[in-house]
Amino acid sequence: MPSTSSINNMEAMIMSTLKLCQQSIETVRCLASTSNQPTKADFNLLSAYAAQQADSHGTATVSSTIIDQQQNSGQFQFGFQPSATLIPSQSGILASSISITDMVHPEVRRQILSGKHVNLNILLMPNFQPSKRPSKELDERLSRNLSLDEFIVAFGRFKRIMVAAFANRSQELDDYMAHIIETANIWPEKFYKYHKLFSAKCATVLYQRNQIIDWSYGDPGLRQLVCAGSRVRNCDTCRSTVHVSAICVLWL
């Protein structure tokens, strides 16, 4: 006949097992109720413009059809700017009817149009594939700082993709380009790092707060933090940062 201590131990084990079962049941119920609740979609440029229009009844022009095509189809690898008239031939349109062709991967286009931060280096790589595991050589190409000429080419492609869906951003991005060129003329070694941080900041605010930052004027405070203390390009004669030595009045 089992002793009293053995019976007490068995009762304690049974109670412990029952508690564990109850806890497991509660956990399953909580998981089931959570899975039935709708999840909040990530914010993007389209949702931010919709919220902005709802608040201010603005007139921002957004081509939702293009967004849907870019998000739901993988066929838009080549973006182009058509000329005023597409000239048809017997076998199709003439190549000269299309002025600019941007060879950009569909996934990169989707990232641009959703407002995510995009490394402009990849817009200079026609064969870039986001899903491909990066090699050491690719990592070096993605991490290098662009020159001003390379930035202008890459950002031009970024702008054409963006404006195809958000035509209202054309002047905004032109103003930002002028802002970056001015920054590069003064701080040639830091302008690209400033752009990357500014672009990442805009993407973070959009994702977390569903708000759009105006790119027209950049972020003077951020630029000062990034560029302060770095080498400044100035005139050798008068030390001005608004012109080069070749056109200095004192030199002439």
The domain ranges of the chain are: 45-84+92-227
- Confidence tier at 197 by pLDDT (50, 70, 90): very high
Residue 78: what pLDDT? 46
* Alpha-carbon span 95 to 73, nearest angstrom: 24
Question: 3-state DSSP: the chain helix, strand, coil percent, rounded to 5?
Answer: 60, 5, 35
Residue 61: what pLDDT? 47
Contacting residues for 105 by C-beta, under 8 A, at least 6 apart: 77, 122, 128, 129, 130
pLDDT tens digits along 53-100? 776 654 444 555 555 554 444 433 445 455 445 566 667 777 777 777
pLDDT tens digits along 109-168? 999 999 999 999 999 987 787 776 767 777 788 889 999 999 999 999 999 999 999 999
- Confidence tier at 201 by pLDDT (50, 70, 90): very high
- Phi, psi (rounded to 5 degrees) for 129: -125, 115
